[in-house]
C-alpha cells in the first residue's frame, strides 16, 4: 500500500487485515461501488457491518438437550448468501438466536447471541468463535452427550454447534480420520469387539463397554489394545 494523502476530514475508518483477500473488505463499505481497482474485476460483495439485512434469510435450527437443564435449547443460525449466482457465491453466518423455556440463562444468552451476531456481521474470520466457545468449562462440571462426547459446559456445546454449522456451509473444512486411519480404527474395533463380545445392553454409547475418555477428541471411545490405549473415534493412540 502506498502513501495516501489525506485532504479532508477522516469520517470513517476500517481496521486493515493482513489477509490479502480481506484487504478489499477493509475499505469503507459505502465506497465499494467506486473502487478504483474494479475496472475489470467483477464487484465482489464481502461481509461488512453496513451490509443490510435482507428481508429473508435462510437458516438452520439445532436442538440442544443437555442433562444440566430440564428444557431443550434451540439454536438458530441464519446465513446470508453473498454474490449469489456468481463464482464468488459464499454463504456466511449472519445472526444467531437461542430459544429456551429455561429462563435461568436468559441474560447471558441475550448478551452472547448479540455479540456473536455482531462478530458474524463484521465479516472476516469468524471461526475463532468456535475455539473460544469450546474452551469454556463450567466450574460445576461438564456432562456427556448421548454420543459419548464430553462437554465441559453448555457454552462449549454451543461452540460445537457453531462449528458444525460452519462446516455445513463450507466455511470450515470437514475434519475426521483419514481413510487410512478409519480403516485402522475399524480393524482395531473389530479386534476389540471380538475379544470382548459381552456388551452392556443398556449402554448409550456406540463404543464398546468399558471404553475410556479419549484425551484428544473427548469421546468415551479409547480402549486398551495390546497394552496400548487406542481411540476408536479419532484413531489417537498413546503409543503413536
Ligand atoms: Zn479420540
Give which of 93, 79, 218, 232 is closest to 156, Cα–Cα.
218
Q: Which domain holds residue 160?
A: 58-168
The structure's pTM equals 0.64
pLDDT higher than 80, residue 132: yes
pLDDT higher than 70, residue 7: yes
pLDDT digit string (tens) for 8-36?
Answer: 777 776 766 655 454 444 444 544 444 44
Do 119 and 188 sit in the same domain of this protein? no
Ligand 1 geometric centre to CA of 234 (Å): 4
Domain assignment present for 40: no
Domain assignment present for 227: yes
Do 114 and 192 sit in the same domain of this protein? no
Ligand 1 geometric centre to CA of 65 (Å): 23
Domain assignment present for 41: no
Ligand 1 geometric centre to CA of 46 (Å): 37
Domain assignment present for 188: yes
Do 64 and 83 sit in the same domain of this protein? yes
Q: How many CA atoms lie within 13 A of 180 on its CB side?
A: 0
Do 97 and 156 sit in the same domain of this protein? yes
**pLDDT of 240:** 64
Q: Into how many domains does the chain fold?
A: 2
Ligand 1 geometric centre to CA of 174 (Å): 16
pLDDT digit string (tens) for 75-105?
Answer: 999 999 988 888 888 899 999 999 988 888 8
Ligand 1 geometric centre to CA of 223 (Å): 10
Ligand 1 geometric centre to CA of 66 (Å): 21
Ligand 1 geometric centre to CA of 93 (Å): 29
Q: What beta strand segments (E) does the chain contain?
A: 58-64, 73-82, 90-100, 143-144, 150-151, 212-213, 220-225, 228-231
Do 132 and 210 sit in the same domain of this protein? no
161 CB contacts (<8 Å, ≥6 apart)?
Answer: 62, 64, 75, 77
pLDDT digit string (tens) for 180-228?
Answer: 888 888 888 888 877 776 655 555 567 887 888 888 888 888 888 888 8
Measured between alpha carbons, how far is 2 from 36 in angstroms, rounded to an integer?
A: 14
Do 92 and 156 sit in the same domain of this protein? yes
Do 163 and 63 sit in the same domain of this protein? yes
Do 161 and 191 sit in the same domain of this protein? no
Contact 238, 188 (CB under 8 A): no
Amino acid at each position: 500500500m502506498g502513501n495516501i494523502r489525506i485532504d479532508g476530514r477522516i469520517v470513517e475508518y476500517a481496521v486493515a487485515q493482513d489477509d490479502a483477500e480481506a484487504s478489499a473488505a477493509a475499505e469503507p463499505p459505502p465506497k465499494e461501488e467506486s473502487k478504483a481497482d474494479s475496472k475489470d474485476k467483477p464487484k465482489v460483495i464481502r461481509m461488512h457491518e453496513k451490509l443490510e439485512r435482507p428481508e429473508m434469510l435462510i437458516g438452520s435450527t439445532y436442538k440442544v438437550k443437555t442433562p444440566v437443564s430440564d428444557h431443550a435449547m434451540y439454536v438458530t443460525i441464519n446465513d446470508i448468501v453473498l454474490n449469489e449466482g456468481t463464482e464468488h457465491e459464499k454463504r456466511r453466518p449472519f445472526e444467531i438466536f437461542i430459544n429456551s423455556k429455561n429462563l435461568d440463562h436468559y441474560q447471558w444468552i441475550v448478551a452472547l447471541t448479540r455479540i456473536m451476531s455482531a462478530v458474524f456481521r463484521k465479516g472476516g474470520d469468524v471461526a475463532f468463535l468456535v475455539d473460544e466457545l469450546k474452551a469454556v468449562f463450567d466450574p460445576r462440571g461438564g456432562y456427556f452427550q448421548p454420543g459419548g462426547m464430553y462437554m465441559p459446559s453448555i457454552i462449549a456445546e454451543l461452540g460445537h454447534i457453531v462449528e458444525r454449522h460452519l462446516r455445513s456451509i463450507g466455511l470450515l473444512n470437514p475434519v475426521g480420520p483419514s481413510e487410512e486411519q478409519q480403516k485402522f480404527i475399524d480393524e482395531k474395533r473389530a479386534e476389540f469387539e471380538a475379544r470382548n463380545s459381552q456388551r452392556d445392553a443398556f449402554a448409550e454409547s456406540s463404543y464398546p463397554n468399558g471404553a475410556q475418555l479419549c484425551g484428544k477428541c473427548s469421546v468415551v471411545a479409547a480402549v486398551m489394545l495390546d497394552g496400548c490405549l487406542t481411540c476408536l473415534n479419532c484413531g489417537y493412540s498413546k503409543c503413536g
